[in-house]
Chains A and B, each alone.
Chain A
């Protein structure tokens, strides 16, 4: 790729000004004439049937327009297929207001629509629902023995076995085993889930929705309401964080559109923070690990069994276990996982789903093994370093993990660590240093984009992807400016609109690789046409040049070898009488790649813990990441910083607590559900290790949205052990767990 200087340069968000000045509008902020407001009534029980819904009192409130329930609603599709969105797990998705069945506590059972939000909310409090209770089962721990291997699993099963791990374990000179647990976590993005459905006429609707995929939302709502997809337009130009909660269409969308169509007027539905705890969540998970090694630390046996949870109606499962076979050489391996079905909503992806959980358990177990083998934890990783993906039996397209370890350790000062637990202190505080490895998939999925160059030198670049915060608008702008040789200011990036060229949901850290490759292809097509126009000019200085021989910079097309041979883009377009050049393109991953694609990181943490009171401070973190080419080091570093903060939360704070008697999450607001606050976040150093990857995609990018959270909780947990000599295996690590003997 030619380098005009935009890519790879720290670049402030092109939408930053709009966001901080408030002109960037979010789903709940669109005001349209005649807007009505919906408020959701949520189920108070976890399982059973609705016998009666008393709506008379609520309907009598002045300003109430209608109340939708399973008994009073427009027609909804009756096949599971219609409710299955692009990222639905196997099963029968929830059908909001479809029938009288209650599948989980907090399920939407009615929508009150009124002239004003306050009226709707008040009237909603007057809706009385009578239930026929059935005994619910929500206790993950208690049901653990009932876990089964998902029969519905469409992905290749993550279970795998090689060699003879049981026998090898018995023979191993060093052995550790342990159980690790992570509770349910909720995403809790700042922006509440909301949809503003703008009614146009009987067969058209436009919706501003909080979603990570405008087209996924469009297809879902059109299919469920049995409308042609091209009559529905979904927009989500700005998203106030999502972390996976907005991958699947959430019920505010269907309810807003359903009400708008029934009432023939625009309707907004905004969920409360409490209701956001009724959406998907990170499944609780339990891991059992047994590791055996030779006395020199070489792994001889690695067994990892994990249990996750899901709803009764869908099998949501992410791979907790295969990561160790990517990171560490071992001949005798057994990996498996199973699922417990509970009367809860279906979990959903939450930042690095599967990887964050798996790495937590694996990296803590490796830490335990390091102590047992009397080896430095970092050295143990290097001894077992794997250059091969042992599941697929193939090499990596690139893997600069060794460099991550080296640069991270150097920045952190790891070599000064006293290996002995409880050996380092600072006044009343015990000091602990811990480390862990991070790994995440570098995926690419099919996507399309469009590039339009107009004669005045302006470029528009568009794709139906999203920008949930990582800076998608910004790198799209940088990429187009770089490839077409125009200033950043001349480029407009468009996204978050279902009418734009097809793109998948923004998730899985695959947007830059997928949409970036499509934009790259579209810009290449524009370049090709421009070069053709330039070459048709009489006496063209670029005659005979191939596309790879020229560079687009400063509004010119130049010969790389001889920079004096150039044609201005404007002249070329004028000569060719081209007012605008518009090119659409798609890109898909290379299906016959002989390589595995992953991002890697090395995470180092320092904690200081009050010896008597167990109060933990994470005083320093270093996260060294190898993720291919970094298009925008500024926004990419923000991704890592945010994810590390998420990892601090995972280690020390986050936990959604269920009261099993009610089958209900009882920590339902941000005073009770803790995430780190400023005081919990100290120095975080992000290092991007140089990693060239020419195989992976034309841009050489891997994505950085999730890698920052993987390994972070383990590094902190390992630091806590180093500080205190206490191994707390159940997250979050709270002070009472440290006080226990």
Chain B
């Protein structure tokens, strides 16, 4: 079933009772050509591009909970491609281009909103660093504009410009950045993959990886053994656990990141803004709530809930940037488990078994990468070679000394 203005109108006439399910609830088959572990954004996008673009049809996505229950449904929905380093920039820009055509491509409304992402700077040194990053972006064909204080003030007059410690001097703006409705991304990719024959197996936890002669031959799951030709792991915060089943140790720690949403407000902030003097970022959802967050809590965790000290820290940073926030009530907060890699950059690579592929290490920035991550991972699985824009994301880079240290920080809390 394709969505169109007409189908929405006609279904509306009948009280929206006749919509079909978006994807099937199949029983696991005995064997698939490709099994993808993890039904988050990256796993579902991989299945979508594998089936649609690379022509592999016999695929399963194995998800321990329900799809969208992981980070893809927990993030703060920001997309951008404002990266400095050559290993990162073309990849995130490829992702941005895929976002721009995504809704037409998978025929689903993901509410892609290019409302602009503005990074504030508060000192001369920070201005110079942002100028350098903006120039690097433009050299790669990505849009970037450096705004002075007056230009930022015209956009967002209610910020604390003359804060004694963190005066706002200007900002680096990427107008093509913005937000996307996160769970619609999971649903859109799931529906698209299902329509190309992919089996999405929910409530099916992988508990072991069966190996024979240097190959992965299948996975043990809570719904029985399932055989595979190739095995692709995209388990985000649980990557170390799943890869550990194949006997490999990763340069990754799992940490909790919290996010918050306020009560609904009238239109207040029409772009995404990040504070440059502390870790705080905010946007406003279409329902009116302010969606915001800050740093990871700092200690290893698999708990999907964080600490009050971090809540306080985020609130303080927010109030330093926007004093008016002090009157706003927070409705909800939640946590997600991040696969923090040691250089802060991801891994898309074939690993120590011939047919075992790994997609991990997305830290707190993997949502924006979802389309390109899925595409490049599918490319690697189908063709055996990395996609042009994802060549740098190798696992052995730590051994070879080719770290991609975009921000000079990794999992270690003292580096944040």
Are A and B interaction partners? no
Instruction: Show the binding face of B for A, using Cβ within 8 Å.
Output: none
